[in-house]
Amino acid sequence: MGKRAKKAPVQTGRKQTLAKRFKCPFCANEDVVECKMDLSKGVGSLACRVCSASYQMPIHHLHEPIDVFSEWLDDCEAAERGEVAAASSSSSKNRREDEVHDTGRDHYSGDEEEEEDDLPAASGLKRRG
């Protein structure tokens, strides 16, 4: 009679961790942009410690800090090209964003001229959620 064969130990690979600190696209310093994910409010925010650049976007349970950072970079590139930030990225077309509509005020009533023509165009670099 022989001995029982032993099972080979299970090799568990290390789980790769994704970065939570990034290089700032404005001041070009390494590891100064920190990401905070607030899943209860559904907001992911980035802030640079050096130049105070910031960005916010709506998130859900599948988002990671790298997703928020890459969306910020996409919006920065869209702003450089002069495009509207929300229309430029394909992921924002699939993303549900809550919009607040003021139904108590009629925006297009009669012969009134629009006074909003004097406002500068939005840069798309800072979003509040």
Q: Starting at the edge strand that comes first in sequence, how are the strands of the sheet with 43-48 ordered?
A: 21-22, 33-38, 43-48, 54-58
Average pLDDT score over the chain = 75
pLDDT at 9: 84
Q: What is the mean pLDDT of residues 72-76?
A: 93
- CA 114 – CA 120 distance, rounded (Å): 14
Q: Tokens 């509509």 map to which residue?
A: 101
pLDDT in tens, 88-128: 344 444 444 444 444 444 444 455 555 555 656 655 565 55
pTM for the structure as a whole: 0.54
